[in-house]
Structure 1
Amino acid sequence: MSINKINETKVFGGLHQRFTHQSSATQCEMTFAIFLPPQAEQHPVPVLYWLSGLTCTDENFMQKAGAFRKAAELGIAIVAPDTSPRGDSVPDDSDKAYDFGLGAGFYLNATEAPWKAHYQMYSYVVDELPALIESQFPVTHKKAISGHSMGGHGALTIGLKNQDKYQSISAFSPITNPTECPWGIKAFSNYLGNEQAQWQEYDACKLLAKHGCQLPILVDQGDADGFLEEQLKPNHLIDVAAQQQLDFELRMQAGYDHSYFFISSFIDDHLAFHAKHL
């Protein structure tokens, strides 16, 4: 598969690079970023896949999270894809709203027109992107997954549905129960239509209740997050996890909000958590 390098910057002895490529899953050009730690010059390294939230691109985490120092120390590569398909042919929310369409792919495979032609982010993240990364870069087959908000939803649901593909799962401020919150209901109604069974296949609470999880999970949530009660509903996830025998930890962090200030405060913990399992 052909990839085109946009730029490259040295950081903490490693390299941050951005690439574009033509995606067969989303039927458009996609952008992703990768951080390769200095150890990658000597041998293949494991990978953490990071999924960002609403309105974000591949750039938000790489520029704001402050993850490179710890990732370089631990010898972990980080891959951050874009959050949705993009391009002139890719449909957007009719009102250009932030919570649907471009920048809001929700890491699912849409089944409804006109979205299904391009909004196949689940297949892109689970299958196409890792195959590309493993064929083009000095990485091993060991990988973990993490994300924030909509991306936390993506990390949880993708990890739960593909426990054979990942070593560990983490999330910041995830949308834990999208079938019961405004963001999720809007997205699922459009992308998936009215079939509730399909909705449940992209809901972390439903998946955890149905399948359990053999992988370790770490979730951080700020208690000053303005989206806490209406959109994120961490208590729903805690209730489900309490009914299962899981390697699961959800930490409520006093005074923290939904921003990258929160993520940057605890990203080292998440990288160390994944390193134990990678």
Structure 2
Amino acid sequence: MGRFETKDTVAVCGGKLLKLSHASEYTKTSMDVNVYLPPQYEASGAKKLPVLLYLSGLTCTPQNVSEKSFLPYFASKHGFALVFPDTSPRGAGINGEDESWDFGTGAGFYVDSIREPWKKNYNMYSYVLKELLPLVSEEFGQLDVLENCSITGHSMGGYGALMMYMRNPGRFKSCSAFAPIANPSVVPWGEKCFGNYLGEDKAEWYKYDPCHLVKAYAGNPQVADEKILIHVGTKDVFNYRDHQLRCENLVEAAKGTKLAGSIDLNVVDGYDHSYYFISSFVPEHVEFHLKYLTK
């Protein structure tokens, strides 16, 4: 299968979950990725299917979302494909990459590192946008991943979705996030990862921080009614106790910008940071993205 090695094929919801790996030019490691092909993929003929890209959170692999989110059910119901990248290089052999759960392995933070010893391997921003999605497009010709793709994610991946969407106006049809780290340059998770991957110059940090990117964001040229959908729970300890998420900061930062009044932040009572939370609001996020992917 081209540059992808198929490690497993799982039948689910009438479609196929492909567990793939490939050698990456950007991370210099083998990278895992899951791709879900709904049943419409085999019957779509000349019609290309839309794609939803999901970026996972700290410590996660492509397996967490594949098994726990219920996204394949909705992909089969509505006829779109799913792409689930990994969260970092693995096995790069860098001293210290496996010492903590919130930095290094499983915590690539979707940036291109500019500091030693990380910059050789930890280039998740370019990996996802410049390598993985073009490879998926090349391998799966019926997926419209380069022209009709939306983006979502959870926690670190929610931040990644917001950041990639704002840095690339028009590349994605729509954006949503589950409990995103919305203002990473002012919270411990972001300070740790940005400091190590990007150095001490805060100007480098701001290139990846949604609360700074929104100030210069020019708007999505593909849509007239642009919105961003966010959900976060009141019992999310990373939100109310540790203050790692700061979703309200993004709403405030958007005032006076192209996204003023367009960030739909839903603070939902009783929900935590887990996949119980994510799966509960997947239906709303799917319906949100379908409004853009089917236009």
The normalised TM-score by structure 1 is 0.96
| SS of residue in 2 equivalent to 1:21 | strand
Query: Is residue 261 from structure 1 mapped to residue 269 from structure 2 by the alignment?
Result: no
Determine the C-alpha separation between the residues in 2 that align with 1:9 and 1:202.
35
Shift of 1:245: 4.6
2:68 corresponds in structure 1 to 64
Runs of 4+ in 1 over 6 A off after TM superposition: none
2:279 counterpart letter in structure 1: S
Determine the C-alpha separation between the residues in 2 that align with 1:238 and 1:166.
20
Determine the C-alpha separation between the residues in 1 that align with 2:162 and 2:150.
11
Question: Which shifted more, 153-162 or 211-220?
Answer: 211-220
Determine the C-alpha separation between the residues in 1 that align with 2:120 and 2:236.
34
Determine the C-alpha separation between the residues in 2 that align with 1:212 and 1:269.
26
Query: Is residue 277 from structure 1 mapped to residue 292 from structure 2 by the alignment?
Result: yes
Question: Which shifted more, 239-248 or 176-185?
Answer: 239-248
2:3 corresponds in structure 1 to 2
Query: Is residue 198 from structure 1 mapped to residue 207 from structure 2 by the alignment?
Result: no
CA gap 1:126/1:276 in 2 versus in 1, 3 angstroms: same
2:223 corresponds in structure 1 to none
2:32 corresponds in structure 1 to 31
Determine the C-alpha separation between the residues in 1 that align with 2:17 and 2:97.
32
Matches within 5 A, 1:104-115: 104-115=107-118
Determine the C-alpha separation between the residues in 1 that align with 2:184 and 2:55.
16
1:19 corresponds in structure 2 to 20
Q: Is the 8 A contact 1:76 1:275 kept in 2?
A: no
1:107 counterpart letter in structure 2: Y
1:233 corresponds in structure 2 to 246
| SS of residue in 2 equivalent to 1:50 | strand
Determine the C-alpha separation between the residues in 2 that align with 1:103 and 1:85.
8
Shift of 1:111: 0.2
Determine the C-alpha separation between the residues in 1 that align with 2:250 and 2:187.
13
Q: Which has the higher strand share?
A: 1
CA gap 1:91/1:117 in 2 versus in 1, 3 angstroms: farther
**Aligned residues with identical type, % of pairs:** 42
Shift of 1:148: 0.3
* Count of aligned pairs between the two proteins: 277
Q: Is the 8 A contact 1:91 1:115 kept in 2?
A: no
Q: CA RMSD in A?
A: 1.3
CA gap 1:245/1:163 in 2 versus in 1, 3 angstroms: closer
Determine the C-alpha separation between the residues in 2 that align with 1:131 and 1:139.
11
| SS of residue in 2 equivalent to 1:56 | coil
Matches within 5 A, 1:1-278: 1-43=2-44, 44-93=48-97, 96-137=99-140, 138-140=142-144, 141-211=147-217, 213-214=219-220, 215-229=226-240, 230-246=243-259, 247-278=262-293
1:9-68 Cα offsets, whole Å, 9 max, x none, are 111111111101000011110000011111111222111110000000111101111111
Q: Is the 8 A contact 2:169 2:218 kept in 1?
A: no
| SS of residue in 2 equivalent to 1:155 | helix
| SS of residue in 2 equivalent to 1:107 | coil
- Unpaired runs of 5+ in structure 2? 221-225
Determine the C-alpha separation between the residues in 1 that align with 2:112 and 2:29.
15
Determine the C-alpha separation between the residues in 2 that align with 1:148 and 1:269.
14
Shift of 1:90: 4.3
The normalised TM-score by structure 2 is 0.91
Determine the C-alpha separation between the residues in 2 that align with 1:248 and 1:235.
10
| SS of residue in 1 equivalent to 2:50 | strand
Determine the C-alpha separation between the residues in 2 that align with 1:211 and 1:52.
24
| SS of residue in 2 equivalent to 1:257 | coil
Q: Is the 8 A contact 2:8 2:18 kept in 1?
A: yes
| SS of residue in 2 equivalent to 1:10 | strand
Q: Is the 8 A contact 1:92 1:100 kept in 2?
A: no
Question: Which shifted more, 110-119 or 39-48?
Answer: 39-48
1:67 counterpart letter in structure 2: L
